[in-house]
Structure 1
Amino acid sequence: MADEIDYEALPSNAGLAVNMLAGALAGISEHAVMFPVDSIKTRMQVFATSPVAVYSGVGNAFTRISSTEGMRALWRGVSSVILGAGPAHAIHFGTLEAVKELAGGNEAGNQWLATSLAGASATIASDAFMNPFDVIKQRMQLHKSEFRSAWQCARTVYGAEGFGAFYISYPTTLAITIPFNAIQVTVYEHIKRFANPRNEYSPATHIVAGGIAGAVAAAVTTPLDVAKTILQTRGTATDADIRNARGMVDAFRVIWTRDGLKGFGRGLTPRVLTIMPSSALCWMSYEFFKAAIRSD
C-alpha cells in the first residue's frame, strides 16, 4: 500500500509543531464530546450533604440533573476545559513525541521503558498548565454551583482561598496522571504495534487501541481521582475535615472514614465511560491530525 501515509516514518524535524497542533486539536475534541459524563463523575465523587445531590448511577444522575437543573447544567465548566485543553494537550503530545524520540521509543522492538518514560514526562509538563483549569471546571460542575463563567470562578476562588487553591491537588494529579499516562501510552503502543505492524494510518486501530488503553488506565487510577476531586472542591464543603484537607493523605483518610473501601471506587463507571471513548477519540484525532498536517 504505497499510497498510505507512513506518518511515523516522516522526518523528525517536521515533528514537534505537528505533534503539538495535532495534540491541541485532539484534546479539545476529546474533552468537549464527553464533558456531560465527566460532570456526572465529579458529582458522584464528592461527599454531598444534600440527598438531592446523591446519585445511584450514571443513568440516575443524568435523568435527575437534566430534569431538575436542565441539560445546560451538564455542560457547566466546559469553557474552562476548552481554554486549557488545547494548550495542555499541545504540551502533552509535544513532550510525548520529543521524549519518545530521544529515549528510542520509535525504534523497532518492544520499547516499553521509553514509551512509559515519554508518557510520564508528558503529563508532568501538561498538568502543570492544566491543573488550575481543572479546579475551575470541577467547581463549576458541582450541584448548585454559584459560578457561571470560568473567569468569575477563578476570581472568586483566588480571592477566597488564594493561589494555592489552584495547585493543592497538583501532587495528587501527578500521582494519577503519571501512572495513567504511562499505562495508557504503553498499552496503546503495544496494541497498535500488534494490530498495525506496518505503521499505516489506520483509524480503526487507533480507536480500539486508544479505547482499551484509556479504560485500563482509568480503572487503575480511580481511587486517586476520588482524592483529587475532594481536594479540588474542598472550598465548597461544609464538612471541616474535607475543607481542611491539605493533601492526598488527608483526602484518603476522609474517603476511608466516610465510605470505607467502596469510597475509593466512587465514580468508577462514569470515569471509565468518559475516558474510554474520549481516549479513543483523542488518539484517533491525534493520529488523523498528525497525518493530515504532515501530508499538506
Structure 2
Amino acid sequence: MCDVGMEDEDLYESLPETSTMSTHMMAGAAAGVMEHCVMYPVDCVKTRMQSLVPNPKADYRSLYDALHQIVRHEGMKNTLRGINSVVSGAGPAHAMYFACYEKLKKTFSSNKHSNHLAHGAAGCVATVLHDIVMNPADVVKQRMQMFGSPYKTCLDCARTTVKQEGIGAFYRSFTTQLTMNIPFQCVHFMIYEFSQDILNKERRYDPSSHVISGGLAGAVAATVTMPLDVCKTLLNTQEQCARTRVPYINGMASAFRTVYEFQGFTGYFRGLQARVIYQIPSTAISWSVYEFFKYIITKKKTDDDRYLSVNNLPVHVSASPK
C-alpha cells in the first residue's frame, strides 16, 4: 500500500517514482504541439527574414513590419502555411524528447542534488531522438513558409520534394540541425534547471517559475545558436542554390560559405529578433504545459490510489514518500 496521506506537492516532486513513461510522453506531446502552434506566425517571419536574397515584396525591416506585410498582402492564413506538418511531427518528437530527458536526467545524476552536467547530457541524447522525427517535418514546414512557395499543401510539398530531390532531402540539414540543437538543448536545459534551483528550490508545481525559467532558457539558447539556425534554414529550403554553381547546398560548411557570400557576417544573425521573440514564449509555453500535464496526470493517479486505499482495494503502483 502507498502512503496516500502525503502532500500533492511531494508527489509531484517525486514524479519519477509515481509516474510511468507514458505520463512524460503524453505531457511532452501536448507541450510540443502547443509550443509550435501558438507562436507559429512568428516562426514564419523568422524563416522569411533568413532569406538570402529577399524578394522586394518580402524584404522585411522588423518582426512587426513582416507580420503587417504578410497579413496585408497575403492574408492571415499565409502566416500558418505548413502548420499541419508541425502538428504531425511535434507530437511524437516531443513525446520521445521529454520522456528520454526525464529518464536520462535521473540515470546520469550521481546523487539527489541538482547536477547541471547530467541535465545537459540528458538533453543531448533526447535531442537526437527528437530531430530524427522532427527534421522531415521541419523541411516541409520551412518550404511552405517561404515567400512565393509553389506548394499547395504539406503533402504536395513532401511528394514534390521526394520526386525531385529524393528522400535524402529531408535529412540534408540533419547534421547542422544536431550541431545547432545539441548546444541549444544543453544551454536550454542547464539554464532551466539552474533557474529552477533559484526560483523553485522545493521543485514543486509552480507555474510562474516554469514560465520564467523556460522563457529565459529559450532566449539565451536561441541567441547562442543563431548562426546555425540560419544555415539550417538554407539547407532545408535550398534557396538560390543555382547561384552557387552546384545542384544543391549540402553540408554545414557549404551553408556557412553561402550565407557569408550573399550577406556577409551579419547574415548569420538575420531574423535574430524574431527567433528570440519566438523562443521566449514558446519555450515558456512548452515547459508550462509539460509541467502542468505532469502534475495533472500524476495527481489523478494519486487520487485513484487514495480511493483504492480507502476502500481497501489493491494499489498496483506504489509511491514512497521522500
Distance 1:44 1:4 in 2: 44
Name which of 282, 289, 294 aligns with 1:290. Answer: 294
Distance 1:251 1:162 in 2: 19
Note the C-alpha offset of 1:109.
2.7
Matched, 1:173 2:190: no
Residue of structure 2 in register with 1:64 after alignment: 69
Q: 1:100-135 deviations in whole A, cap 9, x for unaligned?
A: 111127x43340111010110100111011100000
Name which of 202, 227, 231 aligns with 1:227. Answer: 231
- The percentage of counterpart residues that share the same residue type is 43
TM-score under structure 1 length normalisation = 0.95
What amino acid sits opposite 1:186 in the alignment?
A: M
Q: 1:201 to 1:239 in 2, by over 3 A?
A: same
Does the CA-based 8 Å contact 2:45-2:63 persist in structure 1? yes
Matched, 1:278 2:271: no
TM-score under structure 2 length normalisation = 0.88
Note the C-alpha offset of 1:4.
3.1
Q: Per chain length, whose mean CA-contact separation is higher, i.e. which structure has more relative contact order (CA < 8 Å, sep 6+)? A: 2
Name which of 17, 22, 28 aligns with 2:33. Answer: 28
Question: Which structure has the greater CA radius of gyration?
Answer: 2
Q: 1:1-40 deviations in whole A, cap 9, x for unaligned?
A: 9453541313536231111110000000000000000000
Q: 1:212-244 deviations in whole A, cap 9, x for unaligned?
A: 000000000000000000000006755335862
Residue correspondence of structure 1 range 204-215 to structure 2 within 5 A:
204-215=208-219
Q: 1:99 to 1:270 in 2, by over 3 A?
A: same
* SS of aligned partner of 2:109: coil
* SS of aligned partner of 1:113: helix
Does the CA-based 8 Å contact 1:234-1:242 persist in structure 2? no
Moved over 2 A (4+): 1-6, 10-15, 107-110, 235-244
Distance 1:10 1:39 in 2: 36
Q: Which moved more, 1:50-59 or 1:165-174?
A: 50-59
Q: 1:124-172 deviations in whole A, cap 9, x for unaligned?
A: 1110111000000000001111223211110010001000100000000
Residue of structure 2 in register with 1:90 after alignment: 95
What amino acid sits opposite 1:16 in the alignment?
A: M
Residue correspondence of structure 1 range 132-143 to structure 2 within 5 A:
132-143=136-147
Matched, 1:187 2:191: yes
Does the CA-based 8 Å contact 1:81-1:137 persist in structure 2? yes
Residue of structure 2 in register with 1:201 after alignment: 205
Residue of structure 2 in register with 1:111 after alignment: 115
Residue of structure 2 in register with 1:123 after alignment: 127
Q: CA RMSD in A?
A: 1.7
Q: Which moved more, 1:146-155 or 1:6-15?
A: 6-15
Residue of structure 2 in register with 1:16 after alignment: 21
